A and B are shown apart, each in its own frame.
Chain A
Amino acid sequence: MQSANVLLKKIVRSSVLPFAAQHGMKKDLFPLSRTLSLSLCLKQDNSGTPSEKLDLDAWKKVLKSGLQEEVSETVAEHKELSTLAAARETLEMWRLAGRSVPENISEEQLKTFMECPSKSAKKKYLKYLHLKELYKKNDKRKMDEKRERKLEAQKEASETDETKKNSLVCLWANAMDKAYSWRAAQAMIFGQPLVFDMSYEKDMSVREVANAVRQIVFSEGCNRRSVDPFHVHFCNLKDDSLYHKEFIKHYRGAWDKLLITVTDRCYTDIFPKDKLVYLTADSPKVMKTFDHDKIYIVGSMVDKSIKTGVSLARAKRLGLETAALPLEKYLLWNSGAKNLTLDQMMHILLTLKDTGDWKAALEFVPKRKYCGFVSKPVHELKKTLNLINTLKLGKRQEEVRRQFAKNYSKKLMQK
């Protein structure tokens, strides 16, 4: 019996089922055979001959099926959606449609989104959030990987090695901090003042203020780590201003312990006017050397829209001397605005203070903005520049010039 069953199964598998069915099967085998035959038929139906017609609308059935139950719910909910919730839903749909939209959005961000004045502003804001989210996610992933690697390394280390004997190990960071603080404290007493002018809040958007504060935090950091720091002053900083809020966000508790001078007074009240120099890219005067007796002022402004002459206007109003970095003199400028970020400014000023070397200082100008350092006399450079220009514009300009010369001589002859 058993052997017969095995045989039968084999027969069934090799799809000679009709034959087996014809030849008087045992009753208990029937259900099995029936299901088998059914599945067989299905299989044939689906993929048998390629010439057979495809059900092109099958996808509609798939999508509609299994959803009928949910429909009633959604319809009921359909009506009252608050505007915020509706916006959230729209965002979700945009995300599904593949636009750059953040996955998670907070209530506050959603409100900012709704308050954007135009469609393009909305789009821009969403893209910004989206990118921010991406960066955050990437950072988190990297952190996790790092942690895992660290754990593995630790495991290996614990297996192989006992503790090392080293007296400096754990206190390194702490000791550095102390040394930096000591230097900064020295600078508070003896250092050359450097002023950040915090009076541009009304000229900036919220995001520009946030960016400016970030740049200032960077500059403060690199000042602290330098050999001979400036005595940094934040002037015109009002207590409840946006700047102040952003600073607190960045520094938290450390804000009150920073070794810098923060004041809501103007620099003209603190320092003698004739010592102040306002650094601004719009200044007609170009800085020749770094003067250790002067007090330089940097405007804490990030200007994404084009507002020329804002800081120059400020210096004019207060009757201060102004200066611009000699970028043209030392660099072959390529593209980009001549206003630098605040941390770049800080790096440049620190290097100038320590070395007085313009070349070393201007290394901190972003490389994309210039082609190289000026090495030849200026008139030679101009020649090459002209050459480049004529090559770029083709020979047209030259031709035009020649034409002029020709006409000119003709006119002279006529006279």
Chain B
Amino acid sequence: VQPPEKPLQAEEWNRLRESFQSPEVFEEVMFNSMVRCNSPIDVAKSLLTHVAKSNGDIAYHLLLKYLALCVQQGQTSEIRDVYEIMKIRFRILESGAYNLLIKGLSNSDQWRMGLTLLEEVKKIMIPSRTNYESCIKAASRHQEMNLAFELYHEMLAKDVVPTLDVLQAFFDFTRGMKGAELQKELFGILLYLRDNQIYPHKTFMRSIKLWFESIPGGNWRGHLTNIKDSGQCPVCNHQLEDSELTEEEYNNLRERIIRDVIHGTDTFRKTSPQEFEAFQTFVENRLPFDIVIDGLNVSHIKPRRLQCENLFDAVNCLAKENARLLVLGRKHMLINSSNWKREVMKEMQNKADFFFAENISEDDAFLLYATLRSGKHCKFVTRDFLRDHKACLSDSLTRHLFRKWQLIYRVNSKKMFLSLFIQQPAFSYDCVVQTTGDTWHIPYKDFFEEKYSYQVPRKWLCIQQQ
């Protein structure tokens, strides 16, 4: 339905209502379309008046929709009135109403009322991130930075993940302000980005840059740049942090993978204890490997060729540099078949070590174990993103470690014809926000949402103090 353009009289509303196919929901549908079309508030009021006069009451959900319309148009006095009415009529409000009220009031000069509402919400539930966002933005808009930071820390303490908008607001509204305390807080936000591997988008990055450059007496200068493959910043010649996992992280990751991915809730789900033990002794006797190959995965690279030929090419290509290879496969590869020729298999076994798992076992788990056991220099070859194994890891910190390790150690084999393996240059530097005290390096994304989570940004903001 199309909402009318002018306030209507009672009869006119009645007429409209009767012409509507299901009159019971007429008001609701009408309000919905008013919100959608952003109708003038007077039209909504006239409908409310009509409803109130004919029923003597207005249902809560209609009030809610009217409130949504008011918030949409920033009608502060109306928002207040609706709040007054709601408070009288109902003992307690629900999250939808609070969301609207907080949002509406925070954008007005009565933003402090939004704060009291936030307190009310806290009594019944954990406020949502948008609730906090509205309040923090309102507070920082009015230069109450202490209050804003207090709210920010509160939401972090409650495990509510801040929106990028909130973080950006801090940089926007403190531009040009002085104060060591303030600076510390904002550096804290940058470190939050670092700890959670969040990359700011372009506009956010610009806010950061402007803030740095606006610090009175700070003499900060920012430049946009691309980091060289060697990990050196072309602007300040600073060497970025090494991407290698620390010894502790590495060991930690290995332990967790054995515990969560290979054993999980039941060792039998991916392998069997006997098999895993056999594999462990096998690996232990032949350590260390340089490259571990996922035999079955690699053998499917070119669907037109025989699977054993694919694998043969891969092994040949990688064996050249005198590297110690381990190929993981399944037992069915040993049975002479149209895809797996016995002679080819024999020849390969001269060049690399092979381990054949049971046909129903998961060879990926073995791949991870063998690579991690061999040490930091060892790489593995597969096209698999191993997402299902990452998902088996029980906490997000380890999942991050896994991803970082995967990014570095995965040799990506591209589907190029006859030139079998082009190794994707593994980053030698760590792609996170980092600082040395007088420099900051911040990777950023071009767009707000970038499609692939496994891609790391290549663009950087270099900030240095002169």
Contact = CB atoms under 8 A, between A and B. Distances in A.
Given A59-B58, A96-B60, A310 B92 contact: no
A411 B417 contact: yes
Given A97-B61, A411-B417, A310 B269 contact: yes
Contact of A284 (B81, B125, B359, B418): B359
B449 interface: no
A93 B60 contact: yes
A153 B53 CA distance: 47
A59 B49 contact: yes
Nearest to A46: B10
B272 A71 contact: no
A97 B360 CA distance: 52
A116 to B, nearest CB: 12
Given A63-B89, A67-B88, A404 B45 contact: no
Interface string A24-65: 000000000000000000000001001000111111101110
A93 B58 contact: no
A94 B90 CA distance: 12
Of residues B28, B51, B92, B125, which shows the largest number of chain A Cβ atoms within 10 Å of its Cβ? B92
Interface in B1-31: 7, 9-11, 28
B268 A316 contact: yes
Given A62-B52, A71-B88, A97 B96 contact: yes
Contacts of B304: 401, 404
B49 A63 contact: no
A96 B59 contact: yes
Nearest to A285: B360
B9 A50 contact: yes
A87 B268 CA distance: 44
Interface string B122-166: 011100100000000000000000000000000000000000000
B360 A404 contact: no
Contacts of A317: 266, 268, 272
Give chain A's interface residue range (CB within 8 Å of chain B): 35 or more
B456 interface: no
Interface string B355-390: 000011000000000000000000000000000000
A404 B417 contact: yes
Contact of A58 (B11, B52, B96): B52
B124 A90 contact: yes
Nearest to A407: B417
Contacts of B94: 90, 93-94, 96-97
Contacts of A86: 92, 123-124
B56 interface: yes
Contacts of A55: 49
Chain A binding surface, main DSSP class: helix
A85 to B, nearest CB: 10
A63 B52 CA distance: 7
A317 B267 CA distance: 9
Nearest to B55: A62
Contact of B49 (A54, A308, A309): A54
A297 to B, nearest CB: 16
B60 A59 contact: no
Interface string A393-415: 00000000100100110010000
Contact of B266 (A47, A71, A313): A313
A411 B418 CA distance: 8
Contacts of B64: 97
Interface in A298-350: 308-310, 312-314, 316-317
A64 B85 contact: yes
Of residues B9, B94, B95, B360, which shows the largest number of chain A Cβ atoms within 10 Å of its Cβ? B94
A384 interface: no
A89 interface: yes
Contacts of B395: none
A98 interface: yes
Contacts of B91: 74, 77-78, 89
Given A90-B92, A317-B268, A63 B58 contact: yes
B46 A54 contact: yes
Contacts of B400: none
Interface string B257-272: 0000000011111101
**Can you list the 6 inter-chain pairs with the closest CB atoms, starting with the nearest?**
A313-B268, A93-B94, A59-B52, A96-B60, A62-B52, A56-B45
17 contacts: A47-B10, A56-B46, A58-B52, A63-B58, A67-B88, A81-B92, A86-B123, A87-B124, A90-B92, A93-B90, A93-B94, A96-B94, A97-B97, A308-B269, A401-B304, A407-B417, A408-B418
Given A310-B266, A312-B360, 9 more contacts: A57-B45, A58-B52, A63-B58, A63-B85, A90-B92, A93-B97, A96-B94, A97-B96, A312-B268
Interface of A: 47, 50, 54-60, 62-64, 67, 71, 74, 77-78, 81, 86-87, 89-90, 93-94, 96-99, 119, 203, 284, 308-310, 312-314, 316-317, 401, 404, 407-408, 411
